[in-house]
Structure 1
Amino acid sequence: MLITIQQVLTSEEIAQFRQHLAQANWQDGVKTAGTLARSAKQNLQLDDASELARSLGNHLLRTLAANSLFVSAALPNKIYPPKFNCYTQGGHYGTHVDSAIMHVPGTAVSLRSDLSATLFLSDAEEYEGGELEIETAFGVQVIKLAAGDMVLYPSSSLHRVTPVTKGARIASFFWIESLVGDEAERSMLFDLDQAIQALTPTVAPDDANLLKLTGVYHNLLRRWATT
């Protein structure tokens, strides 16, 4: 399941993020790459331990907690603290798959990566190249979104970032451990929840069919969720 969520951040929030990031101390992204990824990864990243990364990441997490589409799609149990990267001057990330288990540095927290997320902070017109290419059962999906928009996709997917040949592609990225680890089950719950939300304004709150559908959703979630 690949889902685009529009306007996660407002234009004002994006401007504030970009102002702070323009003054940030970026470091070579290879420092955080695994053994296999070192030869494929060429970008810049913000130091995860910096006050700026923590502040912007916490702001993003608070925003996502109030985003009903994100909650419906991800059913988040744990979220890895958001990271920030910049691709410029040919920067790219070759085809790879994200690690299955993520350990949060400096803590005892670890999580299973069910979903990967990329939040674009640069508008598509600001740079050339830099497409996020995700391999799916239906072929390669090419993602290049407006600033403030985010894509969610299975962490098990092979994916890559094509070389940025002009300008700079700035983004935040992170991983989610879902309450429902199975992708097919999570996808069915999402479809059911979206149908319920669409029906709710059109019928009475005590409509018998709406109540039955809501009951089915919660009983399936109760059956499939792990905490």
Structure 2
Amino acid sequence: MNRLQGKVALVTGAGRGIGRTIADTFAREGATVIATGRSEANGFADGVEYHRLDVSSDADWARVVGEVTGRHGRVDVLANNAGVIAYESLHELTVESWQQVVAINQTGVWLGMREVVPHMQRTGGGSIINVSSIWGSVAVAGAHAYHATKGAVRNMSKSAAITYARENIRVNSLHPGFIRTPLTEAQDPEINEFVIGQTPMGRAGDPQEVANGALFLASDESSFVTGSELVVDGGYLAQ
């Protein structure tokens, strides 16, 4: 308990699933948590406040971070978790579909980092956790835009880590495997069965298992960890 005592943490895509669990976990560990999403949500743990945020909107980011720093004076942790998935092959993708996935999965991560970094520079550092995926490192057939964006998040994190290392701003990427969430539950069951079947541990992960990784990266326990990829995937990428 209290591994994040006194820290102010902003979590995107926190209405449900992994983001919701990260927000609640951070709050239980003592952080003041700003959970964000595109629709209303409630029922969070004590210490969580909720703000509407479209991560693809420059103006929304400026508004939310302005409200947070105006009220709390700082942002110590940013967990860029918001994301969407689409199973479309390269030749099937429309420009509109491509732009939507890029806007949320990639541009949203960049905008979030760009907005909080100056505040972290002012207060002497912080931790940024960008949620990528096992499919940011390897691929399956189809899901072209998703693979492109999650691979981008992986390298964007490394670039930012190197850029701001001397200012004590740590940037790491988090790579979940198949996790049982409302997002995956809405997928074709055959896709889910295939990915679980390819996972050496033979089961789906739980959102709390990913949140535990995010907690480590957010805490001072990871003070010498930056530019790294934390994989939570039941052994998928070890193959």
TM above 0.5, yes or no, is no
TM-score, structure 1 length as denominator?
A: 0.26
Q: Which has the higher helix share?
A: 2
Q: Which has the larger radius of gyration?
A: 1
Q: Which has the higher strand share?
A: 1
TM-score, structure 2 length as denominator?
A: 0.25
> RCO greater where, 1 or 2, for CA within 8 Å and sep 6 or more?
1
